[in-house]
Structure 1
Amino acid sequence: MDGGIGIAVGAALVWGGYLFYLKRAFDDYPASLLTVSINSFALVWYLPVFLTSIGPGGASDALAAFGVEQIAVVALTAVMVAGAMIAFLRALAVGEVSYVAPISKIVPVFVLPIEIIALGQVLTPLEVAGVVVATAAVYVANFRGGALLDPLRRAATSTAARLALLSAMAFAVSDVARRVGLQELAIPVGLWVPLLIGGVAVVLLPAAIRAETPATLRADLPRLAAGGLFVAAGEGLTNTAFSLVPASIASPIINTQAVVAVVLGGLLLNEQQFGVRLVAAALAVVGVTMIAV
């Protein structure tokens, strides 16, 4: 358990840096094309890990043992991650990273109810309190002064907020599916990671082909490669953590990446309302930690 928690913390740091990097490095990129390009590089970066951990022969044996359940859970996870990434990137395109990140990373608020319904997990009073605190983070992230209900109205009318919440819901489904695939179905992490990264790219490939190609695509290849390294490292750490600890433990820790993104966005991009959003991120961390306890 301790090892899994430490790996989850590492994943949070990597993903937090990635959120900031996306906002800093890419402007006006079609979300589908950006994700497919970065994931393609991520597959290349992850190849040495794949060959070391499982090897081509081991992959063939593992794939031969796949049944309907394994195929379904990989497909569901890939579709949910693809949808979540599109929603998040579009939210990031129209909103500031320190506004979008705290909202989009309240994933554990949705993970726990899904686990209760699908896997029979029992909700404790502390977990209920955690849901309330994490939800309050959304309120604080939207607060600009004025009437108490103004943040709720803004969240309801803000495209960035709606997309961020949609992203959080989709990531929650993928987190539970990820846990089922890695623990209940015992799919090896070394095989799961490239299947997931490649699966997301395949899901988004038709949209990426139809998207308008930026004139700077060739010049952006080094930056896309750097993004792929973030994804390869983040997915490797994330899925290792999910193979060792329950989703309700791993998800809250990994989603503290919002704090990293908020701090970097406020300090390096000089985004406004930094103090308020830092409080929102802190509330999100407190809330999801209460859920995980």
Structure 2
Amino acid sequence: MELGLLFALGAAVVWGVYVFILKRSFSGYPPAGLTVLINAAAIVWFLPVTVATTDTEGVGLAGAALVADPLGTPARIARSLAAVDPASVAVVAGTSAATAAAFVLFLRAIADGDVSYVTPINKVVPMFVLPLEVLLLGEVLAPIQVAGVVVATTAVYVANYEPGSLLAPLVEAVHSRPAQLALVSAACYAVSDLGKRVALQELAIPGTLWVPLLLVGVGLILLPAAIRNPPAVTRRDAPKFLAAGALVAFGEHLTTVAFASLPASIASPVINMQAIVAVLLGGIVLGERYFRIRLVAALLAVVGVSMIAL
């Protein structure tokens, strides 16, 4: 548990830095095309790890042969096709689809509503993960851990909150389309988190194989939108894409290790504290508003994680 929490905290830091860099360096790029390009760069960074560590004959996924050996012989690929595990393929496809859908729905939500209003609602992912994991997977958490999940989720909400009525975003969500889209997006992210847990624990898909499979899956789903509105990458920005890809590869690796060793209802709130990292960086580096509120969120996050670790 303690080692898994360390990886989850590391993932939160990496993803928080990634979100901050996206905001500063890639604001002019269309989101779908940006994601496809960065995922492609991440695959380039991570693929040598997959090739070096994955036994494609034993993982039960046909795609493994193509990931680890794209120029493999027809006989080898045929053997992998014969060994396809339908459950594993379904989980990989479902998790990729849920991740891509969550991303698209969130973009639609912020297109129709204010970011400061939509984002806190979108970050209640763990509140969906907890009941789903208990009901569908029979996960059992101690009461103190459940309370820690609630506190950590509250910390994420506070990190994105701006002064006003505390419950206004949730009350207005009943009638607000942007808020409804944000809630559905959060639910999709919860399904994605559950998919990661099932893939890595119940199905025992190797983590070094899972990372490129997920990146490829999300990229393929978003590719049509990226083709319709392709990003114009300048030569000066190419190193930034490679750097962002390295962050994504590292973040996905840390996330994968966390979900392989922790219940999703514990890994999810810790990793979602990336929002706190991002807003703290915004307050420290860019001097953004409401920094004291962000510090309160950080304190709540520490308390929540400490309760989870008990």
Q: Same fold (TM over 0.5)?
A: yes
Q: d(CA) in 2 for partners of 1:87 and 1:32? A: 12
User: How big is the shift at 1:158?
Assistant: 7.6
Question: Residue 9 of structure 1 corresponds to which residue in structure 2?
Answer: 9
Query: What residue is the counterpart of 1:203 in the other structure?
Result: 221
Q: Are 2:53 and 1:74 equivalent residues in the alignment?
A: no
Letter in structure 1 aligned against 2:275: A
Name the counterpart of 1:242: 259
Query: For 1:32 and 1:131, how far apart are their aligned partners in 2?
Result: 31
Task: Tell whether the 8 Å contact from 2:152 to 2:269 is kept in structure 1 after alignment.
Answer: no
**Equivalent-residue separation in structure 1 for 2:214 and 2:107 (angstroms):** 18
> How big is the shift at 1:41?
0.5
Structure 2 contact 276–297 (Cα < 8 Å) conserved:
no
Alignment match, 2:68: none
TM (norm. structure 2) is 0.79
Partner amino acid, structure 2, of 1:204: L
Question: Aligned-pair distance for 1:28?
Answer: 3.1
Q: What is the aligned residue count? A: 290
1:215-242: CA deviations, max 9, x gaps?
4544422212211111111111111222
Residue 263 (structure 1) aligned with residue 280 (structure 2)? yes
**Secondary structure of the corresponding residue to residue 186 of structure 1:** coil
Q: Give ranges in structure 1 of 5+ residues lacking alignment.
A: none
| Residues in 2 aligned to 1:162 and 1:236: alpha-carbon distance in whole angstroms | 31
After superposing the two structures, state which structure 1 stretch, 194-203 or 81-90, moved more: 81-90
Displacement of 1:271 in angstroms is 1.5
In the alignment, which of 163, 169, 180 is matched to residue 198 of structure 2?
A: 180
Partner of 1:220 in structure 2? 237
Matches of 1:269 and 1:165, distance apart in 2: 29
Quickly say closer, same or farther: Cα 1:5–1:153, change in 2 above 3 A: closer
1:107 aligns with 2:122: no
Q: How many angstroms apart in 1 are the aligned matches of 2:249 and 2:108?
A: 22
TM-score by length of 1: 0.83
> Structure 1 residue 73: deviation in Å?
0.3
Q: Structure 1 267/216 Cα, relative in aligned 2: closer, same or farther at 3 Å?
A: same
Distance in 2, matches of 1:81 and 1:173, equals 8
- Cα RMSD, aligned residues only: 3.3
Q: How many angstroms apart in 1 are the aligned matches of 2:29 and 2:145?
A: 39
Does the aligned pair in 2 maintain the 1:5–1:250 contact within 8 Å?
yes
Structure 2: give runs of 5+ residues left out of the alignment.
59-63, 66-78
Q: In 1, distance between residues paired with 2:302 and 2:110?
A: 20
* TM-fit CA distance, 1:84: 2.5
Mark the structure with the bigger radius of gyration: 2
Task: Give 2:280's aligned amino acid.
Answer: V
